Amino acid sequence: MIQKMKQTAQVTNRHRALGLTDQDVLSMYENMLKARRVDERLWLLNRAGKIPFVVSCQGQEAAQVGAAFGLNRDKDYVAPYYRDYGFVFAWGMTIREMMLNNFAKAEDPNSGGRQMPGHFGYRKLRMLSHSSPVTTQNPHAVGIALAAKIKGDDIVSFVTFGEGSSNQGDFHEAANFAAVHKLPVIFMCENNHYAISVSLKKQVACAHISDRAIGYGMYGESFDGNDPLAAYAAVKKAADRAHRGEGPTLLEANGYRLMPHTSDDNDMTYRSKEEVDEAKKHDGVVTFAEYLRAIHVLTEDVEREMEERIRKEIDAATNDAEKAPFAEPDSVLHYVYEEKN
């Protein structure tokens, strides 16, 4: 599954055929890099005792960003899960907002510091709020699609979740409902091969998560989760099917979780360093940069400038978020119910 992209002159341009410009793929890469660099900074902040918790996206950025580019970023509704840093950046969240979220400050647009980091939700961006019990967002995404159908609106509803989550009842109930009513939903499983410590083989007996699609009477497809172009193509195709009234699609991004489950986990208790090192060879952030260099889109100057721009933005955002106030303690009683003025 995993494409090896070598830095040679023979590398052919793969994005043009997908209708993507050089600017598009650079923008994809920048979002992937943003997610990676923010994630790295969060671990430093955590180890320095500045933030209590990190849930990591590393290894999954390629699929996340490619998927976002395959959707209509002005119209579609999305329900990203807690590792989707790459997705939410590509969807319009700023680094400052992400830092406010991780520092749990009042200005965090996701929850004002109420939820743990990575529990995204941003109405302005048509991004549903999600919780910690996994896969509860899948039926919500189906409800969005049903509501759009009732209203006659031509949109796509996109939802992500892990392969461990694909064992939950809500995954099944949502997929079946969407298929029966031919709703415009894209279910994208980010298969990172671990549900905390339990490996894929102990999670499912099928060869591919996308194999489950046939049981629901929907189209299913797996792709290389380290390749943003593969993600883009698969999601774009699924969105086109949805717009044509052909119903939902189950996609599976084959990837790997490079970091422990969270900052509270020690992954060396259940997997080997060799295994992680091997996966790093296929890391999408690295391999996509190699591709872009090989086709002379990512020049040394562009790359340096990009790294610099991201670093400055992260520095400023971290500084801002650290100084920003927490919500007032009294606010703990607010918004239990609608507050009428």
For another protein, the closer of residues 13 and 176 by Cβ is 176
Strand 194-195 vs strand 198-199: parallel, antiparallel, or unpaired? antiparallel
- Region of 4-12, 56-64, 95-103, 140-148 interacting with another protein (CB under 8 A): 140-148
Count of helix runs (H) and strand runs (E) in the chain: 12, 7
140 near another protein, rule: CB under 8 A? yes
Binding residue (CB under 8 A) for another protein from 50, 149, 271, 293: 149
- Region of 82-90, 170-178, 273-281, 318-326 interacting with another protein (CB under 8 A): 170-178
Sequence-distant (≥ 6) Cβ neighbours of residue 169 within 8 angstroms: none
List strand residue ranges (DSSP E) for 71-180, in order.
77-79, 157-162
252/20 Cα distance (integer angstroms): 22
Binding residue (CB under 8 A) for another protein from 151, 201, 273, 323: 151
Of 106, 72, 113, the closest CA to residue 92 belongs to 72
For another protein, the closer of residues 13 and 129 by Cβ is 129
For another protein, the closer of residues 153 and 307 by Cβ is 153
- Region of 63-71, 165-173, 234-242, 283-291 interacting with another protein (CB under 8 A): 165-173
Binding residue (CB under 8 A) for another protein from 31, 56, 115, 160: 115
List strand residue ranges (DSSP E) for the chain, in order.
77-79, 157-162, 185-191, 194-195, 198-199, 219-224, 249-254
176 near another protein, rule: CB under 8 A? yes
User: Distances in Å between the alpha carbon of 149 and those of 125, 146, 172?
Assistant: 20, 5, 21
244 near another protein, rule: CB under 8 A? no
121 near another protein, rule: CB under 8 A? yes
Shortest CB 333 distance to another protein, Å = 10
147 near another protein, rule: CB under 8 A? yes
Shortest CB 336 distance to another protein, Å = 5
Sequence-distant (≥ 6) Cβ neighbours of residue 196 within 8 angstroms: 164, 261, 265
At position 77, the amino acid (one-letter code) is Y
139 near another protein, rule: CB under 8 A? yes
32: region left, alpha or beta (phi > 0 left; psi from -120 to 50 alpha): alpha
Size of the site for another protein (CB under 8 A): 47
Shortest CB 230 distance to another protein, Å = 28
Binding residue (CB under 8 A) for another protein from 49, 169, 325, 329: 169
Are 251 and 235 in contact by the 8 Å Cβ rule? The answer is yes
Shortest CB 123 distance to another protein, Å = 5
Shortest CB 335 distance to another protein, Å = 4
Stretch (H or E) spanning 235: helix 228-243
Q: What SS3 class is residue 157?
A: strand
Strand 219-224 vs strand 249-254: parallel, antiparallel, or unpaired? parallel
231/252 Cα distance (integer angstroms): 9
User: Binding string, 76-105, against another protein, x = CB under 8 A?
Assistant: -x----------------------------
For another protein, the closer of residues 311 and 335 by Cβ is 335
For another protein, the closer of residues 274 and 339 by Cβ is 339
The residue ranges that bind another protein (CB under 8 A) are 77, 108-112, 114-115, 119, 121-123, 128-129, 131, 133, 136, 138-151, 157, 169-170, 172-174, 176-177, 180-181, 334-339
